[in-house]
Amino acid sequence: MTNQIVMYTEAYMSKLDSSKPIEISKEFVSKLDLSHKNLLIIYSGNSRLIRTISVKSDYTIKIIIVIEKLLPDFVGSLGSLITNLKITPIYSSAICYYETYCTYEAYFEPNVLTDIKFDEFKVRVLDIKGVIDVISRNIVPT
């Protein structure tokens, strides 16, 4: 049985020093799709996770949906909207801050979420019960 197990993840340790950038080993970099131009790095503060996703575009678009109260219909409505508009996110996450509000965050490549699609997306998301705001930010390489 052990010979049949496929490893889904790999890991290595890197020194953490605030005066130096975090280093990624050459072995790990060689496993990335190097035809992609950039690396999207997402830090999740409460879980202390850092995600890295190779992307083809020169920048990505971060969408933040602010939700006053997370209602059961929200997830289904948002999922249907994303499917209907054919705008698959690179990564998405949601978190609720105590009982005051929740946020849903998603990252898109610009060829997937064009200005026209964003405008339609924003109008339709604001129609979902409980949604307060939809914010867009461009994430560019530093």
Q: How many domains does the chain have?
A: 2
Q: Which pLDDT tens digits describe the chain residue by residue (142 residues)? A: 556 777 677 777 888 888 988 888 888 888 777 778 788 989 887 777 888 888 989 999 999 999 987 788 888 999 999 898 888 899 998 888 777 888 999 999 999 888 778 888 899 999 998 899 999 999 998 8
Contact 125, 134 (CB under 8 A): yes
Helices (H), 6-113: 26-30, 72-85
How far, in Å, are 6, 82, 96, 113, 126 from residue 70 at the CA level? Answer: 37, 18, 8, 24, 14
Taking the CA of residue 54 as centre, how many other CA atoms within 13 Å lie in the half-sphere pointing to its CB? 10
Question: Do residues 99 and 118 share a domain?
Answer: yes
Question: Do residues 72 and 40 share a domain?
Answer: no
Q: Which domain holds residue 108?
A: 60-139
Last residue of a domain, one of 32, 54, 76: 54
85 is written with which tokens? 């508009």
Question: Do residues 50 and 64 share a domain?
Answer: no
Report yes or no on whether pTM surpasses 0.85: no
